[in-house]
Amino acid sequence: MLIPKKDRLLILESLFQEGVMVAHKDFNAPKHHILDTKNLYVIKLMQSLKSRELVRESFSWMWYYYYLTNEGIEYLRDYLSIAEDVVPNTLKKKPAAPRSGGASRGGYSRGGDDRRRGYDDKKAGGAPGGSFEPSFRSEGGYGRGGERFGRGGGRGRGSRGGFGRGGARDE
């Protein structure tokens, strides 16, 4: 497909800068959702680069995802006349967050006998008081003994208890 040079350069520069490109699978869309060009131009140019193994493609939920390969980076550097020290954003290392040592690491310290943070026996929101009495009702339900679901539940009411077909038989 013939793609105007202005649009081709726009797509390739964006691909090199980010290292990735996405495009919705809508060949009739008047405009790409990020770039100021037709969506069809983006898809077809990426398809051409994919056939030359300069990008890797994956497809999910009506979206094409294109990832620039090392060969693609070299090709685009030559085609766009970009210096060797410039790399796509996907290859740039993010600076590590500064780490501080000692007690500021989530409230824990490296030494001491009690390593638990803020432990207190009288802590509000702990275990319920002495009047808490849970009740476990055996009114059927989801377990083996219940007869609400399936073919009558577990044993009882004349079932033979095997794994075979059929329910209870009157013998």
- Which residue's structure tokens are 């009558």? 152
Q: Give residue-wise pLDDT tens across range 76-128.
A: 999 999 999 898 888 888 888 787 655 555 555 555 555 555 555 555 666 66
**Long-range contacts at 19-22 (CB < 8 A, ≥ 24 apart):** 19/67, 19/68, 19/88, 19/89, 19/90, 19/91, 20/65, 20/66, 20/67, 20/68, 20/90, 21/46, 21/55, 21/65, 21/66, 22/63, 22/64, 22/65, 22/66
DSSP letter for 136, please. -
pLDDT at 166 over 90: no
For residue 145, what pLDDT is reported?
58
| Rounded Cα gap, residues 111 and 150, in angstroms | 57
Mean pLDDT, to the nearest integer, of 22-45? 94
Q: What is the pTM of this model?
A: 0.55
For residue 98, what pLDDT is reported?
81
Residues of the chain with pLDDT > 70, as a percent, come to 61
List the beta strands (DSSP E) in the chain: 20-24, 55-60, 63-68
User: Predicted confidence band at 132 (pLDDT cuts at 50, 70, 90)?
Assistant: confident
Beta bridge partners of 158: none
User: Predicted confidence band at 37 (pLDDT cuts at 50, 70, 90)?
Assistant: very high
Half-sphere exposure for 139 (CA within 13 Å, toward CB): 3
Q: Is 39 helix (H, G, I), strand (E, B) or coil?
A: helix
For residue 23, what pLDDT is reported?
95
Q: Give residue-wise pLDDT tens across range 137-161.
A: 766 556 665 555 555 555 555 555 5
Over the chain, what is the mean pLDDT?
79
pLDDT at 4 over 90: yes
Higher-confidence residue of 61 and 94: namely 61
CA distances from 21 to 16, 58, 63, 94, 107 (A): 9, 11, 10, 20, 42
